[in-house]
Amino acid sequence: MMKKIFLIISILFSTTIFAQRYNAKIEQLIRPELTPILQTALDLAELQPYFHLKKNVTDKEIVFEEEAPFTAENLKGLTKFNKPVSVLKHSEIVKLKIKKYLSLHDWEIAMDNCKLELNFKGEGILISYQLKKVDTKWIILSYKITEKK
């Protein structure tokens, strides 16, 4: 009986270690793609009216809610209005009482294709994208902006 329990624990432990190493390897491969994917998504022309731009955008700060693998470390270089996008943990967003921010709803990446869905909290919209990497650049194949009630 003890041998069976030990065997089961050993299998579970080794499976967990394998999964952690596999996930770390996958994240290492996709990490360089995260900023270009999100930059392409933020630059969608049809999204710009939701940023409520005025003539002076120097005080405009865009906030993105951190969720692995979309972390501050992995999104270095992400900009909007020639300013870095702030990537904050949910607790920081709550503490700072930020009402308008972008958050990850869903995403999948496979080879040179990506499905991405972002929530724009405070604006009440969900933006769904289908992107494809052509040569070295991500392009939007299709998108949909859905206003949530």
pLDDT band at 53 (very low <50, low <70, confident <90, very high): confident
In the predicted model, is pLDDT for residue 133 greater than 60?
A: yes
The CA distance from 74 to 79, in Å, is 13
Report yes or no: 143 and 125 within 8 Å, Cβ to Cβ. no
Digit-coded pLDDT (tens) for 12-51: 454 444 444 434 545 556 788 999 999 999 999 999 999 8
pTM of the model: 0.78
Q: Are 108 and 118 in contact (CB under 8 A)?
A: no
d(CA 43, CA 81): 10
The predicted structure's pLDDT at residue 22: 38
Q: Are the C-beta atoms of residues 109 and 132 closer than 8 Å to each other? A: no
Q: What is the mean pLDDT of the chain?
A: 83
Name, of 68-72, 106-110, 143-147, the range with top average pLDDT.
Answer: 143-147
